[in-house]
Structure 1
Amino acid sequence: MALSSAAIIANTSSTPATARLNNSSGLPNYSTEAVLAAANHHIGLSLNFPRSISSPLVCTYRAASQQSQQFVEENHRKHAPAIDGADRVKPLSRPTSFTSTGPDPLAPFWNTHKEGFLQPKEAASSSITSSLLTAELQLLANAASDRAEMHSILAQQRDNWNKLFQRMLTSASMTACVLSVLDGHIAGHSMGGLSLPALLLNAGTAAMMAVINQFQPSQLAEEQRTASRLFRKLANDIHYALHLSPHLRQSTSLLVDDCKRRLQALDRAFPMPLTPGGLEKFPTKVVPPVLIEPKLNMAQGDHQDNSNVVDCLDLHEYNGWDRQLAQELKHIAAMLQHSDIPKYTGLAQNLVKVNKPLAIAAPCFSASAALLNAAAMCTTPLPTNNIQLGMWAATFSVLATFLCSFSNDMQLGMVFELYRNSAGYYADVKTTIEETLRTPVDQRENGTLFRQRIAYQLGRWPTSQAEPVVPADAKEAGTLF
C-alpha cells in the first residue's frame, strides 16, 4: 500500500477523539479510535468496499474492532515504561520506531484476511461443489423413491391380471368341457346344437392362453416387486450415506457416480412397459440382471486393483483396510462367481425347460378341443361318433385347463424370476467388491463397515474381525436363498 499505518494514524491525530498521546519516554501511544480508523481505511482499500457503516464490511468491521483493541492493549503492555521497586521509571533500552520507514506495527492485523480472515476462493468453490453433490444425491434418492412407488403399483396391477385371467380361463375351459360331453350324449335329439358354443369357448380359451403364457403375468408381477424393492433399497442407501460421517463413507463424487449408474441399470433391467422392451420370458441362456452399469474404464481396473491393494495397504491399517481384508474380499468374489451365481442361473434355466413346454401345450390342447367340436358339427349325427368326439373334446379341454393351471397357478414364471434375481443379487455383491477394490483406498468406504455390510448381504454373521466372513469349509458364499 502507498500509505503506512503510522502515517494514516498521524493524519487522523488532528481531532481530539484521535489525539496522539506522548509519554515521558518519548514513545508514541495511539488511541483506540485511531487504530480503528486506520483498520477501516486499510480494509476498505484492500477489498475495494466503501468504508461506511452500512457497507458489506459491517461484520468484518466488528471483528476488526475486537482484534485492533487487543493489538492496542498488547502494544501498551509491550512498550510501556517499566517501573522498578523504587517507583522510578526505567526507560526502554531500545525504543521501537513507528515512522513510515520502519516496520508497520499493524502489519499482522492488515494481513489477517490472507490467513483466513475471509474465506479463500478455493475453499468457497469446494464447499459449493460439495453442496451440489449432496443436492444431486438427494435428487437421485427422490427419483428412486418415485420409481419404487410406480413399480409397486404395477406389481399389484399385474398380480390382479394373473388372478383374473386364470379364473376366466379355468371357467371357460371347464364350461366347454361340459358342453362337449352333453353334445355327444344328446346329439340325436338336438342335432349337435351344443358343439357351437363349445367350439367358441375352446377357440377363445386357446387364443387367450397363448397370449397370457407369452407374457407370464406371475413373472411380470415378480419383476415389478423386485424392481420396487431394489429402487427402495437404493433410496435407503443414499439416505444412509448422507447421514453417515464423511470420513466413513466413500468420496461423494464416487457415490454420486455409483448411484447414477445403479439407477440407470435398474431402469434397463426392469422396464415398466409390456411392449416394446419387455424382458424375455423364455430365454435361451439365463443371465443375471445387471444391477449397476459398468464403468467406462473397466479395462484398466485390474492394474488399479493390484497397485492400490499392494501399495496402499503396506501399513498396518488405513481407513479400516488392510491386506488381509482385501484378500478375504477377493476370495468371497471368487466364490460368488464360481458357486452361487451358476447355481441360481442353472435353477432358472431348468425352470425355463419345464415352463416353456407347458406354455405351448396348454393352448394346443384347447385348440384341439375346438377342432373336435367343429368336427362334431360337420359329421353325420350318429350317436356313436358324436359321443366319441365329444369325449375327446372334453378330455382335451380338461388337459388344457390342468396344464395352464399348473403353469400359472403354480407360478412357474415367478419362481424362474426369483432364481434369476437371486443370481443377480449375488452378481451385484461380486461387482460391488471388485469395484471397491479398484478404488483408491482413501476414497473407499471404511473397511470395517464395508466388510460388515457384505456379511449381512450374504447372510453371514461373523462374531469378530478375526473370524472370516465365509468359513473355510463353506461350499457357497451366500446363505439367504
Structure 2
Amino acid sequence: MSTLKASWSASSSSTQRGFVKAAINIPTRVARISLPGLRKAEEMDLHREKQLSPVKIRTTNKNEDNNGPDPMVMAKLYAILEAVADRIEMHKNIGDQRNNWNTLLLTSINSLTLAAATMAGIAAISGSSAAMKVSSTAMYVAATGILSIVNKIQPSQLAEEQRNAARLFKQLENQIRTVISVGNPTAADVKDMMEKVLALDKAYPLPLLGAMLDKFPANVEPAVWWPEQRMKLHSKGDNKSYNGWNGKLEEEIKQTVGVLRIKDKEDYLKLGQKALNLNKFLAIAGPTLTGLAAVGSALVGSPCDEGGWAVGMAVVGGALASVVNMVEHGGQVGMVFEMYRSNAGFFKLMDESIESNLMEEDLERRENGEVFEMKVALQLGRSLSQLRDLAAAAAVKGKDIDEFASKLF
C-alpha cells in the first residue's frame, strides 16, 4: 500500500509540473478499495506545495529587488528633485521681482531728482517761496536716502544672481533625472546631489538681510556654486582597458585647461574688476551729487547765495545725479559685474573638473575619455576637431596664444 501511495504521489507531482514520465495501470478493484488513502496522500502533497509556494515567490521577489534600485535611495532622490523644482520657481519669481525693483526705483529716484531741480530753479527765479525751497530740499534728501539704499543692494545684480541660480538649479534637476533614469542610483548619488543643492543655496542666497553677497568686494573672485571636487568612481569599460584615454588625449586636455586659465578665466576677472570699479564710482557719485543738490536747494535765496551758486548747485547737481543714476542702474552695471564673475566661475569649475580627472592615475576610475572630451568640447562651444586644433596651437605658442578656449562667451 505504501508503494502505491508513493507511486500515486510521484505521478501527481509530475503531472502538476507538466512532465509525464510514466503511466500507472491500477486495477478497478484495488483503486476502489484504496481511494480514501490515495485522496489523503494527495491532499498532504498539495498542502506541502501550498506551504512551499509562498517561500519560492518571496525569494524571487527579493532577488528582483536586489537587481533593481534601492527604494529608499529613489525616495530620497525624488525628495531632492521636488526641493530643486521648488527652488527653481522661487529664484525665478524673486528674480522677476528684483528686476522690477530696479526699473521702478530708477524711475522714482530720477523723477524725484528732476522734480527737485525744477522746483529749486523756480524758487530762484520767483525769489519768493519758501515752500518751493523746502519741497525741493525734502525731495533731494529723500532721493539721497533711497539712492544710497539702492546702490547698496544693487537690484540689477540681485536679479542676475537669481537668474543664474534658476538656470543652475534647472541644470541640477536634469542631472538628478538622468541619474534616476540611467542605472541604479546609490547613497553616494544622494549625498552628491544634497551637497550640490546646499552649495547653490550658499552661492545664491534668497534673503537680503544678513545673507546678501557683498556687492563691492575688495577683489574680484570667480563665483563658486559647487561643492569641493572629489574623486568619483566610474564604471569600468567593458571592452577598453584604458577607458577611452591615451597619452595624446591627456595632453590635449592639459593644453586646453592651460588656455582656460591664462586666457578665458583671467580675461573675465579683469573685465569684472573694471565693471566693479565703475560701479563703485557711480554708487558713490550718485548720492554725493543729490546731497550737494539738497544743500544748494536749502541755501537758494539766502544771504550767502551770492552770485547764484546755490541754485546752480541745486539744479546742476540734480541733473548730474539723474545722469549718473541712469548709467548705473539703467545700464545695469551691477548685472554686468555679476555676469563676468559668473563666467569666470564657469571656467573655474571646468578647470577643477578636468584636474580631478587627470589627477586620478588609475584610468579605469576616470570618466570615460571619449565622453569627457566631448563634454569639454560642448562646454566650450567647439567641435572635437576645433578642440584638438586649440590644443595643438597651445602646445606650440604656450602663454603667447592669442585664441580663447571658449567660443560661447
Task: Find the aligned partners of 1:319 and 1:119 in 2 and give their Cα distance.
Answer: 35
Please name the residue that 1:326 is paired with.
250
Confirm or deny that 1:433 pairs with 2:361: no
State the structure with bigger RCO (CA 8 A, min sep 6), 1 or 2. Answer: 2
Code of the aligned partner of 2:13? E
Q: Deviations over 1:207-265 (max 9, x none)?
A: 1111100111100000000100010011112223433467xxxx855544432322221
The TM-score with structure 1 as length reference comes to 0.68
Please name the residue that 1:217 is paired with.
155
From 68, 85, 94, give the equivalent of 1:145. Answer: 85
Structure 1 residue 134: Cα displacement: 3.9
Matches of residues 167-246 of structure 1 in structure 2 within 5 Å? 167-187=107-127, 190-244=128-182
Confirm or deny that 1:416 pairs with 2:337: yes
Task: Find the aligned partners of 2:211 and 2:222 in 1 and give their Cα distance.
Answer: 17
**Does the C-alpha gap of structure 1 residues 125 and 181 become closer, same or farther in structure 2, counting only changes over 3 Å?**
same
Please name the residue that 2:32 is paired with.
none
Code of the aligned partner of 1:422? N
Please name the residue that 1:24 is paired with.
none
Please name the residue that 1:480 is paired with.
408
Please name the residue that 1:267 is paired with.
201
Task: Find the aligned partners of 1:158 and 1:343 in 2 and give their Cα distance.
Answer: 29
**Does the C-alpha gap of structure 1 residues 191 and 153 become closer, same or farther in structure 2, counting only changes over 3 Å?**
closer
User: Is 2:92–2:166's contact at 8 Å kept on the other side of the alignment?
Assistant: yes
User: Is 1:369–1:396's contact at 8 Å kept on the other side of the alignment?
Assistant: yes
**Does the C-alpha gap of structure 1 residues 126 and 347 become closer, same or farther in structure 2, counting only changes over 3 Å?**
farther
Structure 1 residue 332: Cα displacement: 2.5
Q: CA RMSD in A?
A: 3.4
Please name the residue that 1:407 is paired with.
328
Task: Find the aligned partners of 1:185 and 1:449 in 2 and give their Cα distance.
Answer: 75
Please name the residue that 1:355 is paired with.
279
- In terms of fraction of residues, the more helix-rich structure is 2
Please name the residue that 1:33 is paired with.
13
User: Is 2:252–2:391's contact at 8 Å kept on the other side of the alignment?
Assistant: no
Structure 1 residue 415: Cα displacement: 0.3
Please name the residue that 2:373 is paired with.
451
Task: Find the aligned partners of 1:389 and 1:362 in 2 and give their Cα distance.
Answer: 18
Percentage of matched positions with identical amino acids: 29
Please name the residue that 1:292 is paired with.
226
Task: Find the aligned partners of 1:204 and 1:213 in 2 and give their Cα distance.
Answer: 14
Unaligned runs of 5+ in 2: 18-45, 395-402
Code of the aligned partner of 1:288? P
Unaligned runs of 5+ in 1: 1-10, 20-29, 38-49, 62-116
Structure 1 residue 448: Cα displacement: 2.3
Matches of residues 457-476 of structure 1 in structure 2 within 5 Å? 457-463=379-385, 468=388, 470-473=390-393, 475-476=403-404
Code of the aligned partner of 2:208? L
The TM-score with structure 2 as length reference comes to 0.79
